[in-house]
Amino acid sequence: MANDTFKGVGWCSAFLTGWVLERRFVDFSTDVPMITRVSRTAEGLLGYYIVSLIFVPLIKNGISGPAGTVLSCFVQILYVSFIFPWCLKYLEKPAAQISK
């Protein structure tokens, strides 16, 4: 039960941090065509699986105990709430400039 508490701490603190950073620096929008939403979903899931299957085990092997649990859960949710929207915004920006 204590391990689940550490997971919750990591997830909640990452969500709060990512939400504040995203609102302040990214301002991500979902007002895009349906095909863009579908491709964003596929890219996001692929990235999330990479984070979950590669980086989380590396973190847990490098940092044992509760700190590793908190940090690995923090990284997962920070990816979803800030890193992925930030990457999308800056990768889609050059494509939008080229099409104009």
Q: What is the DSSP string of 13-31?
A: HHHHHHHHHIIIII-----
Measured in whole angstroms, the distance separating CA 73 from the mean position of its chain's CA atoms is: 11
CA proximity to 25, closest of 90, 93, 97, 94: 90
Residue 79 sits at φ, ψ, to 5 deg, of -60, -45
User: Does the pLDDT of residue 19 top 60, yes or no?
Assistant: yes
Question: Which structural domain, as residue segments, surrounds residue 34?
Answer: 2-99
pLDDT tens-digit map of 24-68? 999 888 888 899 889 999 999 999 999 999 999 999 999 988 999
Measured in whole angstroms, the distance separating CA 21 from the mean position of its chain's CA atoms is: 12
Instruction: State the pLDDT confidence band at 1, using cuts at 50, 70 and 90.
Output: low
d(CA 4, CA 66): 10
Number of domains in the chain: 1
Terminal-residue alpha carbon distance, the chain:
54
What pLDDT, on a 0 to 100 scale, did the predictor assign at position 29? 83
Model pTM score: 0.83
